[in-house]
Amino acid sequence: MTLLLKPITRLSLFQTHFQINNNNNPRARETSVSCSWSHGAHKIVREFDPKIPIEKAITPPSSWYTDPSFYAFELDRVFYRGWQAVGYTEQIQEPRDFFSGRLGNVEFVVCRDDNGKIAAFHNVCRHHASLLVSGSGKTSCFTCPYHGWTYGLNGELRKATRISGIEDFSINDFGLVPIKVATWGPFVILNMDNEILQKDNIDTDNVASEWLGSSSELFSLNGVDTTLTYVCRREYIIECNWKIFEKVSIQSAEGGSKEKEDDRLGSKAFYAFIYPNFMINRYGPWMDTNLAIPLGPRKCLVVFDYFLEASFKDDKAFIERSLADSEKVQMEDIRLCEGVQKGIESPAYSTGRYAPNVEKAMHHFHCLLYDNLIN
């Protein structure tokens, strides 16, 4: 088997600070962080030196995987800026379809309106902050379960209850807070950066280069596209930091005869990591995606979505066997990840070393993350 290991180029990141303290602007998100924990997190970041070559480098300290202030800093610098994968287009294939989710402290909902336009909003009622929806489904509007404020799929407030006697209130000022949304191939991606939010005329044609860097064509050439049929989703809550669940490269493998190949894996495979937390695995007729969502310094949610070439979609025995094999691998990975987290929390461990011949991708990821956090 020939294995080609190529770390992807650094993706475009939005790293400008914004501090908006206008109480009359409900769309503004306060992104400045507390001086105290920001200073502490910066100190922790600097305990790793990306300039040291991998042969001599020390891995990031255990505090990168355990410290609450570092986790909060990470959310602000890494996940609340730049494009983040959150779902797939088949979830909002038809008008009035929607799905919801959470990233850090951000609750979001993505929907398609009656005209087929995709939109995304903070999933929070503007009255008293109740969540509007959960899960996924189909709806003509979003109605708050708390007091019945109702919003259109374009985010406009249609109905506001209990406002008799209120002064200085304009219904036009209390629509849902929008989030920039785009699609690439079968994926739905969001950008929560305030600078992007203010640019209503964002050129979504540039999303591929912003999200995937110079690798977008390589993804298309390796069968990462909309021709695949969605199969199912599996979710796992893992007792480890999201960074432990990582694969940090583009890898392609080809070899073996068709007579001997595993009919699930095929003779070709393509594995890709999109910074900071999204993995795409294309092998044989299958594609699965792994999304590692941070839930805290010591916990993450890993979401697997499975896609299959259309010619195999009715082969139930093949699908069940393939998913069972995949489940076995995930259980093994989970045990390993949780064991690593426990070891990292031990007083016996502070930092480690890299194996230069096989862990260049891991070192590359840590360097990207350092640069993302320090600037």
Closest CA to 111 of 174, 190, 41: 190
| Residue 118 and residue 60 share a domain | no
211, exposed or middle or buried, with CB in 10 Å at 0-12, 13-18, 19+? buried
Asked if 228 and 357 sit in the same domain, the reply is yes
Q: What pLDDT digit, counting tens, does each position of 285-343 carry?
A: 999 999 999 999 999 999 999 999 999 999 999 999 999 999 999 999 999 999 999 99
Which positions of the chain have pLDDT values less than 70? Answer: 1-37, 195-205, 247-267
CATH number at residue 105: 2.102.10.10
Residue 73 sits in a domain of what CATH number?
3.90.380.10
Q: What pLDDT, on a 0 to 100 scale, did the predictor assign at position 220?
A: 85
Q: How many domains does the chain have?
A: 2
Task: For residues 174 and 69, state if they share a domain.
Answer: no
Q: Is 12 part of a structural domain of the chain?
A: no
Rounded to 5 degrees, what are φ and ψ at 306? -110, 135
75 Cβ neighbours under 8 A, 6+ residues apart: 104, 105, 294
CA-wise closest residue to 344 among 51, 24, 66, 59? 66
Residue 153 lies in a domain: yes
Domain span including residue 113: 83-192
In a domain, 74, yes or no: yes
Check residue 9 and give its pLDDT.
Answer: 37
Q: Are residues 238 and 369 in the same domain?
A: yes
Residue 35 in any domain: the answer is no
Say whether 295 sits in a helix, a strand or coil: strand
Residues 72 and 105 placed together within one structural domain of the fold: no
Handedness of CA 338, 342, 344, 348 (dihedral sign): negative
Q: Say if residue 113 is in the same domain as residue 172.
A: yes
Torsions phi, psi for 221 (to 5 deg): -65, -25
Tokens representing residue 369 in the block: 């993350």
Task: Output the pTM of the full model.
Answer: 0.83
Helix (H, G, I), strand (E, B) or coil at 8: coil
Distances (CA, A) of 24 to 20, 162, 279: 10, 21, 40
Q: Are residues 93 and 121 in the same domain?
A: yes
Same domain, 304 and 167: no
Kindly state whether residues 320 and 337 are assigned to the same domain.
yes
Using the 3D structure, point to which of 160, 192, 224 is the last residue of a domain: 192
On whether residue 242 sits in a domain, the answer given is yes
Q: Does residue 45 fall inside a structural domain?
A: no
User: 103 and 238, same structural domain?
Assistant: no
Is residue 205 included in any domain, yes or no?
no
Residues 59 and 94 in one domain: no
Please indicate, yes or no, whether residues 324 and 289 belong to a single structural domain of this protein.
yes
Residue 203's pLDDT is what?
A: 65
Assigned domain for 13 exists: no
